[in-house]
Amino acid sequence: MKILVVDDDALAAEMVCAILESGNYQGIVAENVMEAFERLQQHPEIKMIISDMNMPLISGIEFFQELKKQHSTLPFILLTGDDPTTLLTLEPALTHCLTKDFALTETLPELVANVLGKN
């Protein structure tokens, strides 16, 4: 199963992909939101999006809002270095927000499985 990973930090993206691969998912990387939209067109089979929050030009949350405008129903997980609660108050529609830390190796696969299970 393919999952779009959006992060301007190549290493961070690789890290997320490595975690996903260990759960038998395939990560497709986009460096920014523009590239993310291109990837979505190229790979309609993408089942989920995992995006970093803080990126130059268009942030993760703006990306999410844009997707909503385009009526995308893809599950969306936002990764952030900050406290997720402030982001959640900022954008209540956002259901999945994870803190980027070393526990990601455990928290992310759990959340991905959970979200995909529900959909």
Partner 1 sequence: MTQTSSNLQVKILQLRANFIKQLPKRLLEVEECIKQAENSTNYDELIMGDLFRAFHSLKGASSSFGFDKLAEEAAIGEHLAQGLITTSAVMNANRSRVLADVIEQLNLEMEELKQVDLSFDRPYRSPSFEMGQINRGWQEQGAPLIYICDDETEQVVHLDYQLSCFGYRIQRFTDVESFEATVLKQAPDAVVMDVHFPQSSIAGTETLRRVNETLGRQLPAIVLSGQDSFAGRLSAFRAGCRSYFTKPARPLELAAALDDLLKNKHVEPLRILIVDDEPEVAQYHSLILEDAGMLVQQVHEPALALDVLRNFSPDLILIDVYMPECTGQELAGIIRMVPEYLGMPIVYLSSETDRKKQFSAMQVGVEGFITKPVVPSELVSAVALRAERMRTLRRLMTRDSLTGLFNHSSTKEIIESAVSQVGRTKENLIMVMLDLDYFKKVNDKHGHLAGDQVLVALSRVLKHRLRNTDVIGRYGGEEFAILLRKISIEQAYELIDTLREDFSKIIFSSGAEQFTCTFSAGLSSFAHYGSVEELIGAADVALYQAKKDGRNRVNVDRKSQ
* Contact set with partner 1 (CB under 8 A): 8-9, 11-12, 14-15, 18-19, 21-22, 24, 52, 54, 56, 80-81, 100-102, 104-105
Task: Write down the least CB distance from residue 79 to partner 1, Å.
Answer: 8
Instruction: Quote the tokens at residue 46.
Output: 């993408």
Task: Write down the least CB distance from residue 73 to partner 1, Å.
Answer: 28
| Size (the chain), residues | 119
**Residue 54 or 65 having the CB closest to partner 1:** 54
Task: Write down the least CB distance from residue 70 to partner 1, Å.
Answer: 26
**Residue 45 or 101 having the CB closest to partner 1:** 101
Please report, for residues 1, 4, 46, 48, 115, the alpha-carbon distance to residue 118 in angstroms, rounded to integers and kept in the order given: 15, 18, 16, 12, 5
Separation of alpha carbons 27 and 14, rounded Å: 9
* Burial class of 2 by CB neighbour count within 10 A (0 to 12, 13 to 18, 19+): middle
Nearest CA among 27, 6, 32, 8 for reference residue 17? 27
Task: Write down the least CB distance from residue 115 to partner 1, Å.
Answer: 18
**Residue 59 or 65 having the CB closest to partner 1:** 59
**Residue 54 or 68 having the CB closest to partner 1:** 54
